[in-house]
Amino acid sequence: MELFSIASGSSGNCICVGNDRNHVMIDVGIPKKRVEEGMQKFDLLASDMDGILITHEHSDHIAGLGVISRKYALPIYATRGTIEAIKKSKSLGQIDPSLFHVICPDVDFTIGELTIHPIRIRHDARDPVAYALTDGKKKVSVLTDLGCYDDYIIENIKGSHLMLLEANHDLNMLRVGPYPYYLKQRISGEYGHLSNESSGKLLSDVLHDDVSHVLLGHLSKENNYEDLAYETVNMEITMGDNPYRGSDFPITVASRTEVSERLVC
């Protein structure tokens, strides 16, 4: 299994996950040209994708969906609430209704050799989900826009060999930053985004000896920066109630604008 990020952040998200035979995109919140250029870095084409998994309807996750769907007619998988919200988005233009496939949280579905498990998450969207994917040998989990986590989240991503996990903001930067009070409350609330500290604590609960790589994603441009996210997550793992140190695992940060390395497990 492999994963790479074409873009990850509040300005746009697009992740690619797959194996030698099947690939899917998770979200298309960036222009078609950036998607295509990102895939070309790894000798892939957008037309090689077997489907698009949508986490929720916020623009940084679906802004490029209309153009991509009209160009390549790829199947779109999302919850019923998310599909209804997408169809009401005038900015996307007309999307062929036959491309939409309704999925349900906690109900597995397959795309080629990939078995995909939608994970219910708390976020201020209609019916948002994260995804865990497996080819029967390795497991990849992609979790962003996660206001908080609990035992349910932990159980669903346990055993992951590759993870892209949100580390959206530094609590102090958010607290003293320029955002209005209501927005600060939204971001730090249980339906907002995971802080660096929470991201590290969640990782402390799910790390195991066979983790190949952790990619921190969806960093806020205004309330975080890469070194701070990495150092905070590293420290939370090292200081947490687990047998590991942060330095025991490769941990990197996904860029808002640059394609990540190709992570393989």
- Residue that the structure tokens 């219910």 belong to: 120
Please report which confidence band the pLDDT of residue 133 belongs to, taking 50, 70 and 90 as the band edges.
very high
**Domain spanning 2-256: which CATH class is it, in words?**
alpha beta
pLDDT digits (tens, 9 = 90+) for 180-191: 999 999 999 999
**What is the structure's pLDDT at 8?**
98
Torsion of CA 205, 153, 162, 198, to 10 degrees: -60
Round the average pLDDT of the chain to a whole number and report it.
Answer: 97
Q: How many CB atoms lie within 10 A of CB 131?
A: 25
Contacts of 176 (CB under 8 A, 6+ apart): none
- DSSP assignment of 89-132, as one string? -GGG----GGGEEEE-TT--EEETTEEEEEEE---SSSS-EEEE
List 162's β-bridge partners, or say none: 140, 213
**What is the structure's pLDDT at 5?**
98
Cα of 216 vs its chain's centroid, Å: 9
| Residue 217: strand, helix, or coil | strand
- Residue that the structure tokens 């927005």 belong to: 183
**What is the structure's pLDDT at 249?**
95
Q: Rounded to an integer, what distance in angstroms lies between the CA atom of residue 245 and that of residue 222?
A: 29
Mean per-residue pLDDT, 149-161: 98
Q: Rounded to an integer, what distance in angstroms lies between the CA atom of residue 177 and that of residue 174?
A: 5
Beta strands in 104-241 (DSSP E): 109-111, 114-120, 129-134, 139-143, 162-166, 213-217
Whether residue 166 contacts residue 41, with contact meaning beta carbons closer than 8 Å, is answered with: no
Q: How far is CA 70 from CA 32, 58, 218, in A?
A: 11, 20, 27
Q: Rounded to an integer, what distance in angstroms lies between the CA atom of residue 137 and that of residue 34?
A: 31
Strand order from edge to edge, sheet including 251-253? 109-111, 114-120, 129-134, 139-143, 162-166, 213-217, 251-253
pLDDT digits (tens, 9 = 90+) for 91-116: 999 999 999 999 999 999 999 999 99
Please report which confidence band the pLDDT of residue 62 belongs to, taking 50, 70 and 90 as the band edges.
very high
pLDDT digits (tens, 9 = 90+) for 229-259: 999 999 999 999 999 999 999 999 999 999 9
Boundaries of every domain in the chain: 2-256
**What is the structure's pLDDT at 161?**
98
Q: Rounded to an integer, what distance in angstroms lies between the CA atom of residue 27 and that of residue 93?
A: 17
pLDDT digits (tens, 9 = 90+) for 199-234: 999 999 999 999 999 999 999 999 999 999 999 999
**What is the structure's pLDDT at 96?**
97
**What is the structure's pLDDT at 137?**
97
Whether residue 163 contacts residue 141, with contact meaning beta carbons closer than 8 Å, is answered with: yes
